[in-house]
Amino acid sequence: MTVSIKEFPVSGPEAGPYGITAGPDGALWFTVVHHGRIARITVDGDLTSYQLEPASGPTIITAGPDDALWFTQYRNHEIGRITTGGDIGSFSLPTPESGPFGITAGPDGALWFTETNANQIGRITTDGTVTEFPLPVPGAFPSAIAAGSDGGLWFTMNAADAVGRIGVNGEIAIHRLPTAGSAPVGITAGADGAMWFVEIGAGQIGRIQPDGSIKEFPLPDRGARPHAIAVDAYGDCWFTEWGANRVGRITPAGLIDEHELPVPSSEPHGIVAGPDGALWVALEIGALARITPETSR
């Protein structure tokens, strides 16, 4: 597959664009972790930025069930909310220094998130009520989280080489990965009913079925450091290679192709399928990349 890539400068190189999601307004919303900002960009490149507490450390952002955007604030240990009009709110968490990181909308109308430092999964309603669920594996470092087609929330456990599932009733199941040192991070629901995830430590893409069966797909470059993953409208999964300055694609059958980014050492992090059919990638050097597949499917 061939692609075209266009980059949009959105900040200085020290600001750190990190997480990105598609908003309910047809725009892309992303976090600027080191400068404490949430930003919005249209598919044509029009940019708007909203200042948070500068040291708040916004990381992952997702569209909520209330037509707002919800995001984790890793450094001040809060969950944030911003409307498409730019009104900002923030909710403190019960556990101090919890380190919220991943966040996703659940099937129950609430937001579910990970607490890396507290070793917990959190749930927050749209009115700000928080419930926390301790994990049964000590020091697991829960990272990314995504809603599955089976009605559960699936999350990676970066320090435990495992993927977990939590039901909306709080019941937790743990699935150990075959590869030691795999250190999974990003996770997404695939079009095939499975969850697809990246193994930043092993240079692999993983696939886990609802019954817990796992298959791993090694990347051509095992040192690529895959970081985030998202599914496109055709059912393929696209992922960032943070350590190799590339974006890759894997089909449901496990076929992989990769694409170099134009600017060296751009540090690709978050990735999402945009409303324009392109893949949008947050680059820590201070830009977004728009990747448009050109080969017909």
At 117-130, the pLDDT tens digits run 999 999 999 999 99
> Which amino acid type is present at position 24?
P
Spatial neighbors of 44 by CB under 8 A, at least 6 apart, are none
Cα–Cα distance list, 121 to 108, 212, 238 (Å): 15, 19, 26
CB 29 within 8 A of CB 282: no
Tell me: pLDDT of 296 over 60: no
Q: How far apart are CA 155 and CA 142, in angstroms?
A: 7
3-state secondary structure of 239: strand
Residue 127: give the domain boundaries. 3-293
Residue 267 annotated as binding site: yes
The two tokens of residue 261 are: 């980014």
Q: What is the mean pLDDT of residues 123-152?
A: 98
pLDDT level of residue 88 (50, 70, 90 thresholds): very high
Catalytic entry in 34, 35, 259, 269: 269
| CA neighbor of 226 nearest in space, from 186, 282, 172 | 186
The CATH number that applies at residue 94 is: 2.130.10.10
| Alpha carbon distance 279, 294 (integer Å) | 12
Task: Quote the percentage of the chain above a pLDDT of 70.
Answer: 99
User: Is pLDDT above 70 for 297?
Assistant: no
Contact 79, 91 (CB under 8 A): yes
259 assigned to a ligand binding site: no
CA dist 229 and 15 (Å) reads 22
162 three-class SS: strand
**Tens of pLDDT, residues 160-178:** 999 999 999 999 999 999 9
- Our answer to whether residue 34 is catalytic in this structure is no
* Mean predicted lDDT score pLDDT of the chain: 97
- On the question of pLDDT at 267 being above 90, the answer is yes
- The whole-number pLDDT of residue 294 equals 83
The one-letter amino acid at 261: L
Q: Is the pLDDT of residue 111 over 80?
A: yes
Residue 204, pLDDT > 60, answer yes
pLDDT given for residue 221 in this prediction: 96
Name the pLDDT band for 8 (thresholds 50, 70, 90): very high
Distance CA 266, CA 207 (A): 27
Q: What is the mean pLDDT of residues 264-269?
A: 96
Q: What is the mean pLDDT of residues 254-264?
A: 96
Phi, psi of 204 (to 5 degrees): -135, 160
Structural domains in the chain (count): 1
Burial of 136 from C-beta contacts in 10 A (0-12 / 13-18 / 19+): exposed
- Looking at residues 70-99, what average pLDDT do you find? 98
Instruction: Give the residues across from 37 on adjacent strands.
Output: 32, 51
The token duo for 197 is: 């995830």
- End-to-end CA distance of the chain: give it in Å, rounded: 9
